[in-house]
Amino acid sequence: VFPMSDSPVHTIVATQEKGDLPFQEYFVKYQCQPQMRSVRFEGIDQASLSAEAAEWLRECDWVIFCPSNPWVSISPILTVPGAQAIIETKNVLAVSPIIGGQTVKGPAAKMYQEMGITPSARAVAEHYGKLLRGFILDSVDKEQATLIDQCGIIPLVTNTLMSDNQSRIELAKKTLSFAEKVEKG
């Protein structure tokens, strides 16, 4: 695991009630209670990819977005100047952090709602859009697979809830197997 950048980048959550809050304050002090209006990344324009991250991205075959919050975990990485340009040249898969309209942990579903978007696996796939070749969604959301496929993203429906070590291993194996299938066409 490499940092996205060696430069300082601060996630700022613009809220209805409290104004602009550093993400940690929004998350810890206010427990994600204020209504989010937007997210921005202060310092991102001056940031650059860390040398290790840039080298790894250039040499990898696949980039896999784990089931993390698209707004505050993945988007900062994609926003670092140069990162998305490299990632666009790679095969990219994502695992949905939304299961049945909810997140297992964290504020992603709440953030989608407050941005006026119904939280769903499809919303996550659309968030990443053309970056994705494949998308893994939970069996609970299987009816969304056709809609994701219509976006030009190959879906895989499987159990994505990682409740124990065995389920983590199974999802990792299925993800790698899916990557091979997507690559072969």
> What is the tens place of the pLDDT at every residue in 80-109?
999 999 999 999 999 999 999 999 889 999
pLDDT band at 184 (very low <50, low <70, confident <90, very high): confident
Q: Sign (positive/negative) of CA torsion 50, 106, 124, 98?
A: positive
Asked whether residue 117 carries a pLDDT value surpassing 90, the answer given is yes
Asked whether residue 185 carries a pLDDT value surpassing 90, the answer given is no
Share of the chain above pLDDT 70, in %: 100
pTM: 0.93
Count other Cβ atoms within 10 Å, centred on residue 151.
Answer: 15
Provide the CATH number for the domain formed by 51-184 in this structure. Answer: 3.40.50.10680
Q: What angle do CA 83, 151, 135 make, to 5 degrees?
A: 60
pLDDT at 104: 87
User: Domain spans of the chain?
Assistant: 51-184
pLDDT at 2: 80
